Structure 1
């Protein structure tokens, strides 16, 4: 089941189709995460071997479905238009209503697909959707200072640097600083 107003066919760009992450995607998501395990390791929390099992992938997707059903998140898979293969993912999480009207954006693209502009293309469409349908005021995205690629993607998409958070998240077993960025909805 899609979140309210999310197109059944997904969001289509020139090269990417964004689809809602579902339990039925467990095998494809697990293959994507396993293939990119070393590639993502410097940018993510430590992952045990159990993380890379089918039951764990199914559990993660079930939690994603619950978050989307409650309106607190939107979890999307980036798929190649021609192949349908999972190229990456993006997540709009911790959606807060009331006077804040904001969320956090996280994203990852497979090593094989880096440097082609696919993430910028997909995120541009996803952000437009979230601003238009969720009517949020602010999307926040944070990245490690040494993650130049993510910083460049966010800058290209109009995210502005707001500061540096010291020892912000425990990444790959170490507390890591993060650059704080955000983008304000131009229509709100």
Structure 2
């Protein structure tokens, strides 16, 4: 568990799948423009139980780190941040994806969550590079990444299929600062 001033980050156990299901149900419209199309199984408890079991196995294997940010009472999901595609060897890098509940948007929560999670990824996991890509229209994401020290590295045309359409993405990365 990682603590921030207003949240706690966990690899959520499968027993708490209802919390994540509620997050995605409550924020379905809010998140839809930034996510792939989902099938009818997506917003079901069995899906989230499986997702969380898989997330725990990936965490144990060191291949993915899927953090869920909860309010201090652990009654509500504030947001999520996922570090996936972890590459070891000479690369020591991963991809970052994240989302925040509509009700917490614009209050600095995402920056707070990502600062704690990235510190863990750099210092405890030992990564050198975290890559995060965003759609040009997603100004909030661009602003958060800039505040966190991500630098633009390129532009990828038709990078991901989001909301049923191939979308361009701005490619960014943050490299670990060594003392």
- The TM tier, using the shorter chain, reads over 0.9
Q: Number of paired residues?
A: 179
Cα distance per residue 1:14-40 (max 9 Å; x no partner) = 111111122122100000001101111
Partner residue of 2:130 out of 122, 126, 139:
139
Runs of 5+ consecutive residues of structure 2 not aligned to the other structure: none
Equivalent of 1:65, from 47, 56, 62? 56
- Is 1:77 the counterpart of 2:34? The answer is no
List structure 1 segments (4+ residues) > 6 angstroms apart after TM superposition: none
TM-score (norm 1): 0.92
Equivalent of residue 91 in structure 1, options 79, 82, 96: 82
Q: 1:25 to 1:83 in 2, by over 3 A?
A: closer
How far apart, in 2, do the equivalents of 1:127 and 1:144 lie? 21
Range that drifts further, 97-106 or 62-71: 62-71
Report SS of the residue matched to 1:52: coil
Confirm whether residue 172 of structure 1 aligns to residue 172 of structure 2.
no
Cα distance in structure 2, aligned partners of 1:162 and 1:49: 36
Question: How far apart are residue 56 of structure 1 and its match?
Answer: 1.1
Once superposed, what is the RMSD of the aligned Cα atoms? Answer: 1.2
